[in-house]
Structure 1
Amino acid sequence: MGGGGGGEGEPEFQIAPMIDVLLVLLIFFMSITSAQVLRIDKDIKLPVAADAKKKEDKNTMFEAAINIRWLSGKQESVIKLDDREMSNEEIVEALTQRKNNNPTYRCVIRGDRDTPAVEVQKVMALIAQSGIDDISFSALNQDG
């Protein structure tokens, strides 16, 4: 007869398929985590807000991270959508397309603490041009 084991006794437990499944899951979660980390500009020093609350990570696939880094030597800002530096027109176009694909799409602005408010207002205007009205700001609840 076909099947597992030798007839009587306990059925054999195959460990190799379990290891395969675990490795696939590990690779999947590593790739998702690294994609989320790439969206964050490490050179940005976020402002401190005493009442800042930890973000819930349930809908991170449906939000854009807009990084605003202030170059004090040049007195200008560098704007990145997720991990790519883009022109204002490219940002509006990309956000409009994402908003059209998902009406609940939102943006998180990660502005450097030295960035003038005028630069943040410009980014907010770009987001508004794309039709997105759900905007959040990243901040730390303590300096560190």
Structure 2
Amino acid sequence: MGSSIQSGGGGRRGRGRRTGSGYRAMAEINVTPMVDVMLVLLIIFMVSAPLLSAGVPVDLPNSKAKPIADQDNKPIEITVDKDGKVYLGETEVKDGNLVPMLSAMLEGNDDRRIYIRGDQTLAYGKVMEIIGLIGGAGFTKVALISKPKQ
């Protein structure tokens, strides 16, 4: 009454390499899952990066002017929305706080540029008021941002 039972996957089969005296651990790393995750992250960052740099949404006027060449010195961006609210970067600035904040940013760097993004429905007087405040803070290089003509 002798019967033999053979199992298909007993013990350590498939987990290492068979040597003359036993099994040896695998020393190879499977990088395929890591590459898959990295590619997915890369795609996510590529899609989301343009959305992060949009700033405060304003309807810019059209222009035929050539784009300003990028400088090593990163410009300060001031945005004025259609309601007349002023933003320094993406932070809303209350009345009277713009000049002290800009003066603190100037601190010996006279070449610093300021870009003004003003909504096209905004009154001309409001933009001129902002330019006057910028001049009062000591800045001399001011540019108005517009949409390129298509």
Alpha-carbon deviations, 1:68-90, whole Å to 9, x = none? 1013xxxxx11101110012322
Note if 1:46 corresponds to 2:60.
yes
Normalised by the length of structure 2, the TM-score is 0.61
Give the Cα–Cα distance (whole angstroms) in 1 for the partners of residues 108 and 53 of structure 2.
Answer: 23
Written as runs of structure 1 = structure 2, the 5 A alignment for 1:66-77 is 66-71=78-83, 77=84
Q: Whose helix proportion is higher, 1 or 2? A: 1
Written as runs of structure 1 = structure 2, the 5 A alignment for 1:25-36 is none
Question: 3-state DSSP class of the match of 2:63?
Answer: coil
Query: Displacement, 1:60?
Result: 5.3
Question: 3-state DSSP class of the match of 1:89?
Answer: coil
**Cα gap change, 1:44/1:121 in structure 2, threshold over 3 Å: closer, same or farther?**
same
How large is the RMSD of aligned CA atoms in angstroms? Answer: 2.8
* 2:94 match: 87
Kept in 2, the 8 Å contact 1:68–1:111? The answer is yes
Query: Displacement, 1:98?
Result: 1.3
Q: Quick one: which of 65, 68, 72 aligns to 1:59?
A: 72
Which consecutive residues of structure 2, in runs of 5 or more, have no partner in the other structure? 1-37
Question: 3-state DSSP class of the match of 1:119?
Answer: helix
Which consecutive residues of structure 1, in runs of 5 or more, have no partner in the other structure? 1-22, 72-76
Query: Displacement, 1:57?
Result: 2.4
Percent identical: 21
Corresponding pairs, count: 108
